[in-house]
Amino acid sequence: MKFRNNFKSNHLRGKAYRRAALWALVLLVIISMWAAGPPVASTEPIILKEKPLPIAPKEFFIANVIDERQNKKAIAYLFPAPVGAAMPTKAVPVDLKGGTQVALQQYLRKNLPHNTKLRPVVMHLKELNVTESAPAKGRVEGRVVSHVMFSYLRDGEEVPLMDHQGGIKYNRPASQQDVVEPSIRQVITESLRYFDGWMNQEANRSELLAKSLKVSFTDYTTDRKDDTVFYTLSRPLKWMDFLANPTKESRYAAAVYPGFAYEGRNEVKNGVIHLNLTMKVFVVKSASWAKAAARDAYTLNHEQRHFDIVKLVAERFKQKLHPDSLTIGDYNSIMQYKYIESFREMNRLQEQYDRETAHGTKQLEQARWNQKIDDELRAFKVKK
């Protein structure tokens, strides 16, 4: 009997323990919920409504959207609608459905004219986010901030055009989030509207947006009666142009040092870059010399042919600068490179001419070079 009574007593005591443990667990859950704050409702991804943008681009289409934001976890941090009387105390991350980059690509493709005959433009998202402040008196304040960089996709390379920064504020009831989606669309629309206006203004006059290139040349032939003789058939070299003192150690009769250069200015008209280049083929008098005994017509002709060779190289240089050989975005460096190539060509030809004519002492070779130079001058229509 004592054994049975003890068993019953222990059994009852065990039930009490279990009941106390259960209440302790319930109390622990309640305390945990209280510490975590009121329950928070989930927030669905934002879906951009298919509504045509009030923009009709005439100069571009959006070829791509690239998300370059530092924080790509979500486009917005929103306060959910309250559950019952409990107001949420923490914003939750919310993204566009499918991800920001994909969602914007699809939205613009469907709601902005996409004429691929126009200039392809890439839209870089540097910043696009929505932030909200804690609810107060049943309302939530929000702010949408954007920073977009537009670039022109020309010949497979991007040409940066301009940046646009914008943003708006809104105030909504804590229980409604309907204002968030149209606010995002409005910010995007304003960026595109501003860019569209910029493109309409700059398309025909900005070098960044040029579609083609034309090159024209003018030969500088003015006789300034100073230390420089510029090439022209009506003004060949004269012995009075050799002003330097002869080099006593030299075994040559005379020396002349011609060269060539170009100057340019460019202007954009109707989307076309016009390169207006002025060619200068010249001899510096103060660097040229001749010995008194050598000042005859034959020697002067030999020196004139040095001048003619530079003119030929300058004409060849012009041909190298046809529009198909120049890249719109990098034409200046290409011209400089071709100029260096032509300058080297000039030096090689001058050395070859002196070597084959023995500096004019081989009369038959001199005559051959005279004919060769004249024929090419005629081919370039420099000489009749």
- DSSP characters over 186-249: HHHHHHHHHHHHHHHHHTTT-GGG--EEEEEEEE-----SSSEEE--TTS---GGG--SPP-TT
Tell me phi and psi for residue 284, to 5 degrees. Answer: -95, 120
Q: Look at the alpha carbons of 121, 127, 133, 134 in this order and tell me if their dihedral is positive or negative.
A: positive
Residue labelled with tokens 């106390």: 20
More confident residue, 308 or 35: 308
pLDDT at 37: 43
pLDDT at 88: 78
Among candidates 282, 305, 316, 299, which has minimal Cα distance to 352? 305
The helix/strand/coil state of 167 is strand
**pLDDT at 333 exceeding the cut of 60:** yes
What number is the average pLDDT over the span 97-115? 96
Domain definitions of the chain by residue range: 60-208, 211-379
Least confident window among 25-29, 158-162, 221-225 = 25-29
- What does pLDDT average to over the chain? 89
Least confident window among 73-87, 224-238, 262-276 = 73-87
More confident residue, 197 or 136: 197
Triad 75, 76, 82: Cα angle to 5°: 155
What lies within 8 Å, CB to CB, of 266 at 6+ separation is 207, 273, 274, 275, 276
**pLDDT at 215 exceeding the cut of 60:** yes
pLDDT at 16: 52
pLDDT grade for 185, boundaries at 50, 70 and 90: very high
**pLDDT at 199 exceeding the cut of 60:** yes
pLDDT at 82: 84
- Burial letters for 141-156: b for 16+ Cβ neighbours within 10 Å, e otherwise? ebebebbbbbbbebee
Give counts: helices (H), strands (E), the chain: 6, 12
Most confident of 9-18, 131-140, 167-176, 244-253: 167-176
The pLDDT tens digits for 22-80 are 554 444 433 343 344 444 444 689 999 999 999 999 999 999 999 999 989 899 999 99
pLDDT grade for 15, boundaries at 50, 70 and 90: low
- Judge residue 118's burial from the number of C-beta atoms within 10 Å of its C-beta, 0-12 exposed, 13-18 middle, 19 or more buried: middle
User: Is residue 183 a contact partner of residue 130, using CB atoms and an 8 Å limit?
Assistant: yes
Alpha-carbon distance of 60 to 154, in angstroms, equals 12
Alpha-carbon distance of 117 to 330, in angstroms, equals 23
pLDDT at 220: 96
Residue % of the chain over a pLDDT of 70: 88
Q: Look at the alpha carbons of 280, 335, 308, 251 in this order and tell me if their dihedral is positive or negative.
A: positive
pLDDT grade for 136, boundaries at 50, 70 and 90: confident
More confident residue, 15 or 360: 360
pLDDT at 81: 87
pLDDT grade for 19, boundaries at 50, 70 and 90: low
CA distances from 55 to 111, 113, 191, 192, 193 (A): 9, 8, 11, 8, 7
The CATH code of domain 60-208 reads 3.30.160
What number is the average pLDDT over the span 319-330? 90
What number is the average pLDDT over the span 233-259? 93
